[in-house]
Amino acid sequence: MTLDDNAPVLSIRNLHKCYGALEVLKGVDITAHRGDVVSLIGSSGSGKSTLLRCANLLEDSQEGEILFKGEPVRWSGKGLSRRPGDAKQVLRIRTNLSMVFQQFNLWSHMTILQNVMEAPVTVLKRDPKEVAEAAHRYLAKVGIGDKADVYPAQLSGGQQQRAAIARALCMEPEALLFDEPTSALDPELEQEVVKVIRDLAREGRTMLIVTHDMKMARDVSSHVVFLHQGRIEEEGAPDRLFGAPESERLRGFLSATQ
């Protein structure tokens, strides 16, 4: 199937996800067009990580649709289908919706450069020389161009997270998915990662960002979604949502996070 460049990069419709008897997502809709920065906010346990994990097919889901540039990547009621060719599709989705995790997840036995090059070379079979050039470029872009040959343990948390962002960028994805990228960091290190995310937003990168950092969400997002117990309780443009929240629950959430 050919991808439709005019379709949203990611479109999630009526997504339901259960863990056993626990329904964690109860019909969620999210659309991200090219260049959109969509932030997901909400209390711990509201389903934010699960939503990201379903979007890039780290998790199965029970009902609803996920479309990547118009291509359905799951079908209502069937879970992830097991037709021939699906492994390729899963790989394409994971490559194109590249995740950045809270805990960085860098390989400790590899240098920063090796970490950034690993998936493009071994999984995507790209030319190592070209990947190395791109890796150096992305490391420079996130401000750690001089750290290519050191090991993760030699970097601060903020530098490790920036290396993880360079690694995600080196997949040349259509969109980046961030799951609480700053919450494992000390406040002074948080800002260097926020700056990188802000620069990526200004460049017009498509991003889905789960964050507890309301200031960043207000600053970088084109759209903010407030999840409550697996449903979208309220959503809107950042200034409206933060400036004039309508729902009592969102008002309560925002006053608790001030």
Residues of this chain that interact with ligand ADP (CB under 6 A) are 19, 22, 24, 42, 44-50
The overall longest dimension of the chain from CA atoms, in Å, is: 55
- Indicate the DSSP class of residue 150: S
**Residue number with CB closer to ligand ADP (49 or 56):** 49
Residue 47 CB, shortest distance to ligand ADP, in Å, is 4
Which residues does residue 226 pair with via DSSP β-bridges, in sequence order? 41, 234
Q: How far is the CB of 184 from ligand ADP (least distance, A)?
A: 14
Stated as kind and residue range, the H or E segment containing 68 is: strand 63-68
Which lies closer to ligand ADP via its Cβ, residue 179 or residue 190? 179
The backbone torsions φ and ψ at residue 117, rounded to the nearest 5 degrees and listed phi first, read -85, -20
Half-sphere exposure of 215 (CA within 13 A, CB side): 7
- Judged by beta carbon distances under 5 to 8 A according to partner kind, the member of ligand ADP, Mg ion, none in contact with residue 45 is ligand ADP
Residue nearest to Mg ion (CB): 49
Q: How far is the CB of 127 from ligand ADP (least distance, A)?
A: 37
By CB under 5 A, what part of segment 40-59 binds Mg ion? 49
Nearer residue to ligand ADP within complex by CB, 23 or 199? 23
Q: Which does 255 bind (CB under 5 to 8 A by kind): Mg ion, ligand ADP, none?
A: none
If one asks whether residue 11 binds Mg ion (CB under 5 A), the answer comes out as: no
- Cβ at position 227, least distance to ligand ADP in Å: 7
Q: Which helix (H) or strand (E) holds 196?
A: helix 187-202
Least separation in angstroms between CB 18 and Mg ion: 17
Return the number of the residue (222 or 229) whose C-beta is nearest ligand ADP. Answer: 229
47 binds, among Mg ion, ligand ADP, none (CB under 5 to 8 A by kind): ligand ADP
Report helix angle 157-169 to 187-202, nearest 10. 20
* 12, 30 contact by CB (below 8 A): yes
| C-alpha torsion sign, points 76, 222, 232, 91 | positive
Is residue 211 within 8 Å of 180, Cβ to Cβ?
Answer: yes
Residues making contact with Mg ion (CB under 5 A): 49
